[in-house]
Amino acid sequence: MSGLTSMGMGELAAAIKAKKTSASEVVDAHLSRIAEKDASIGAFLSRDDDRARADAKEVDARLARGEDPGALAGVPIAIKDVIHVKGLATTCGSKILNRFATPYDATVIRRLRNAGAIVLGKLNMDEFAMGSSNENSAFGPVRNPWDLTRVPGGSSGGSAAAVSARFAAMALGSDTGGSIRQPAAFCGVVGLKPTYGRVSRYGLVAFASSLDQIGPLTRSCADAALSLSVIAGQDVHDATSSPRVVEDYGAALGESARGLRIGVPRDFLKGVDAGVMAEFDKSIAALQADGAAIVDIALPNAPHAIATYYLVATAEASSNLARFDGVRYGLRTESAASKSSLKDMYGETRDAGFGPEVKRRIILGTFVLSSGYYDAYYLRAQKVRTLIRRDFETAFASCDVIATPTTPSPAFKLGEKTANPLEMYLADVFTVPANLAGVPGLSVPCGFSNGLPVGLQFVGPMFQEATLLRAGHALERLMGAAAAQPPV
C-alpha cells in the first residue's frame, strides 16, 4: 500500500477509476504515512481523517454504481491554512485566529471536491503568509524533508513539504511574492503561480489583494496542469477573476522543447549560489540541445522589484489585516484553559496576537500610506511596478518564456536568516517580479546542489500557463529531477 503515496494525481485517479485500487486504500495509505512521518516535519496544523475516509467511501460507492466521480477521483490533497475549508479551522498560522472555524468552502475547494479530490487537512504556513522560511508560524516551523535542519521555504512551506514527503498528491498554496515557487524549489517539487485572475481568490484570506494568487504544488508538471484545469475559471464571487476560457493544460504539454524561445536575463542573475547557477546553466544547455532557442533579454527594472514589493505588499497588508482587531475577528486574550490546550497541541505558545513579522509589515505599510509619505513611497512604488510590467511585455516580444533560477540559493538552515529580515526578503528576488506584473510563474526541479534540490523558474505572458507547463514538462524529461524522493 505504501507505493500508493508515490503515485501522481493522474496516475492515482486512473488506478481508482480502473478499480486497480480503491479511494479508501489510497486515503488510508496517505493518512498512515502522515501519522508515521509528520511529527518530524510539522506540515499539518489540522487533519480531517473522518471526513477524508467518508469521502473516499463515497468515491468508491459512486464507481460501484457506474458513475464518474470526477477527474480527481479519490486523489488526496491538502490545503494551506489560509484557504477556507468548511468544517476546519482557518488559523493563517496565527494564534489570533486559533478559534476561528470557517462557515464555507473557498471556490477552489468546492471545485476540487466536485472533481472528486479528498481533503486530508490544513497545512502549516508563515503567519498570514508573511515569510520565506515557514519560521514565522505561531505553531512552530516546518522542516524540509530533504534535510530536517533546513527550512522548507515559505510562506507555503507546509504545502511544499507535504507534497515532497508524499503526504498528499497535491497541495494548494498561495503566492504573493513567490510563496508557492520558492518553497517548491527548496523542497524539490513543482510549484505554479497562475496569472492574476486565472484562479478565484474567494475564500483566500487576503495578504496583499493585488498580488495574491492561489496555485498548486505537485510532483510533476502534468499534475500541475491537471490541477489548474480543475481550479481555474471565472467566479461570480471574485470580481477580479477572468472570464477567459479554461484550456486543457494537459493537452499542451508536448514531448520536447523544440520551437520554444527561452529568454535568459543574464544581467539580473547576480549573487546566485555557484551550485544553483551550475544546475541552471546545465538545464538551459539541455533545453537548447532539445531544440529550444535561447535568447538574451533584459529586465532593467527587475533589481528594484524587492523594494517595490515590500512597499506595495505591506501597504495592502496594513489595510487587509485591520479587520483582525479582536472585535470583528481575532482574540485579544486567551483563557488559561485555552493556552493549556494549545500547548498540548503545539508546544510552547505565545500570547494571542500578531507575531513580530506581521507587526513589522503592518507598521511599515501604515507608514508608507500615511500623510506626507504616500507620494514618496507608495505612489512611486506603483510607478516602478508599471515599469516592471512593461519590461516583461518588451521581453516577451522576443521570447515565449523567461528562465531564471527560482531562488539564489538552496534551502538555508533553520534560524540562519531570522535575525536579518532584509537577507530573508532577498530569497524572493527572482520570484517577486512576476507578482508585481501579474504574470504566471512555474518552478520546476532541475537538479541538486550539495544534496539539496534546486529549482528553475519559467515566467510567461499573461494566461500562457500552457506554454509554461510545456517548458517545465520538457525540462522534467531532460533533467529527470521531478520524481526524486527525499530521504524522510
Q: Would residue 227 count as lying in a domain?
A: yes
Residues 433 and 392 in one domain: yes
Quote the CA–CA distance of 406 and 183 in Å, as a whole number: 9
pLDDT at 482 over 70: no
- Grid cell 500562457 is found at 464
Express each pLDDT in 241-286 by its tens digit.
Answer: 999 999 999 998 987 999 999 999 999 999 999 999 999 999 999 9
H/E stretch holding 181: helix 181-187
Residue 254 is predicted with a pLDDT of: 85
Task: Look up the domain containing 259 and give its range.
Answer: 2-305+380-479
C-alpha cell at 101: 472555524
Q: Would residue 486 count as lying in a domain?
A: no
Quote the CA–CA distance of 166 and 119 in Å, as a whole number: 14
Cα radius of gyration rounded to whole Å, the chain:
21
Quote the CA–CA distance of 345 and 88 in Å, as a whole number: 16
Residues 205 and 92 in one domain: yes
Active-site annotation holds for 80: yes
pLDDT at 44 over 60: yes
| Active-site annotation holder among 94, 132, 179, 283 | 179
Q: Which residues contact 385 (CB under 8 A, 6 or more apart)?
A: 308, 312, 436, 437
Helix axes 305-320, 356-368, angle to 10 degrees: 100
Sheet holding 118-123, edge to edge: 44-47, 118-123, 76-80, 170-174, 214-218, 190-193, 441-449, 452-459, 401-405, 261-264, 293-296
Residues 74 and 205 in one domain: yes
The percent of residues above 70 in pLDDT, for the chain, comes to: 94
**Domain closes at, from 340, 358, 374:** 374
Express each pLDDT in 69-124 by its tens digit.
Answer: 999 999 999 999 999 999 999 999 999 988 788 999 999 999 999 999 999 999 99
Active-site annotation holds for 156: no
**At 484, is the pLDDT very low, low, confident or very high (cuts 50, 70, 90)?**
confident
| Mean pLDDT (the chain, rounded) | 93
Q: Would residue 488 count as lying in a domain?
A: no
Q: Would residue 223 count as lying in a domain?
A: yes
Residue 343 is predicted with a pLDDT of: 46
Quote the CA–CA distance of 323 and 329 in Å, as a whole number: 6
Q: Would residue 310 count as lying in a domain?
A: no
Residues 184 and 243 in one domain: yes
| Mean predicted confidence (pLDDT) in 160-169 | 98
What are residue 379's phi and psi, to 5 degrees?
-65, -40
Picking from 31, 17, 33, 35, the residue whose alpha carbon sits closest to that of residue 74 is 17
| Active-site annotation holder among 155, 156, 174, 409 | 155
Into how many domains does the chain fold? 2
Residues 155 and 192 in one domain: yes
Residues 151 and 244 in one domain: yes
pLDDT at 136 over 70: yes
pLDDT at 330 over 70: no
| Mean predicted confidence (pLDDT) in 343-348 | 46
Residue 98 is predicted with a pLDDT of: 80
| Mean predicted confidence (pLDDT) in 401-429 | 95
**At 349, is the pLDDT very low, low, confident or very high (cuts 50, 70, 90)?**
very low
Residue 324 is predicted with a pLDDT of: 85
The percent of residues above 90 in pLDDT, for the chain, comes to: 86
Question: The CATH number of the domain where 92 resides is what?
Answer: 3.90.1300.10
| Active-site annotation holder among 17, 22, 24, 80 | 80
Q: DSSP assignment, residue 115?
A: T
Active-site annotation holds for 179: yes
Higher pLDDT, 343 or 24: 24
Quote the CA–CA distance of 280 and 267 in Å, as a whole number: 15
